[in-house]
């Protein structure tokens, strides 16, 4: 089989699919995940987990439901995610007497230490995400994604 045959066989026409935002968004996300895991491989943490730790650190005592809503994580999933972080000793749950249905979250000392140790990694990944784009392009991409994500109002009011 000649190289030409191989090339013609392996060339796949995607047609208008290359103009599908959904499709291209998926390809871009797969690429970013590769870069995330390169950076966080040694830290043993997933994107969702790191984001949750980050936001709890910025909002100590945040209500679990509010966290789920703003991060677009389903409550049932958030329960399991938080359980994992609690059993890892990174997060502490607190039920306030004022409303004993709710659960408030804060970092433990270990969680704060973990975040401090990995803050530099996060910022490095932050830069690596933009690999192949100019700084202006990175800013514009971010602006367009935000506009798209927030268009037509919040999905979870």
Partner DNA sequence: TATTGTTATACTCTATAACTATA
Partner DNA sequence: TATAGTTATAGAGTATAACAATA
Interface residue list for DNA (CB under 7 A): 26, 30, 33, 46-49, 63-66, 68, 72-83, 93, 98-103
The first and second tokens of residue 13, run together, are 């026409």
Nearer to a copy of itself, 12 or 87 (CB): 12
98 SS3 class: coil
Residue 49: count other Cβ atoms within 10 Å of its Cβ: 19
Instruction: Confirm if 56 and 105 have CB atoms less than 8 A apart.
Output: yes
Nearer to a copy of itself, 87 or 101 (CB): 101
Nearer to a copy of itself, 19 or 87 (CB): 19
Q: Which residues contact 81 (CB under 8 A, 6 or more apart)?
A: 48, 49, 52, 73
- Smallest gap from Cβ 80 to a copy of itself, in A, equals 18
Nearer to a copy of itself, 41 or 87 (CB): 41
- Smallest gap from Cβ 41 to DNA, in A, equals 10
Q: How far is CA 77 from the centre of its chain?
A: 14
The first and second tokens of residue 37, run together, are 């895991």
Helices then strands, each counted (H, E), the chain: 7, 3
Instruction: Confirm if 36 and 125 have CB atoms less than 8 A apart.
Output: yes
The entry of DNA, a copy of itself, none near residue 110 (CB within 5 to 8 angstroms by kind) is: none
Residues engaged in binding a copy of itself (CB under 8 A): 9-10, 12-34, 36, 47, 51, 54-55, 58-59, 62-63, 66-67, 69-70, 72, 125-126, 129-133, 137-138, 140-142, 144-152, 155
The entry of DNA, a copy of itself, none near residue 140 (CB within 5 to 8 angstroms by kind) is: a copy of itself
């Amino acid at each position: 089989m000649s190289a030409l045959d191989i090339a013609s066989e392996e060339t796949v026409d995607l047609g208008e699919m290359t103009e599908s935002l959904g499709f291209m968004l998926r390809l871009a996300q797969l690429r970013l995940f590769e870069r995330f895991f390169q950076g966080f491989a040694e830290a043993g943490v997933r994107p969702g987990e790191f984001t949750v730790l980050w936001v709890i650190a910025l909002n100590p005592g945040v209500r679990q439901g509010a966290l789920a809503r703003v991060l677009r994580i389903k409550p049932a999933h958030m329960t399991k995610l938080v359980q994992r972080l609690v059993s890892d000793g990174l997060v502490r749950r607190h039920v306030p007497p004022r409303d004993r249905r709710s659960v408030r979250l804060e970092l433990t000392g270990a969680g704060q230490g973990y975040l401090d140790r990995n803050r530099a990694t996060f910022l490095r990944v932050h830069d690596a995400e933009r690999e192949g784009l100019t700084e202006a392009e990175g800013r514009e991409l971010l602006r367009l994604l935000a506009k798209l994500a927030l268009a037509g109002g919040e999905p979870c009011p």
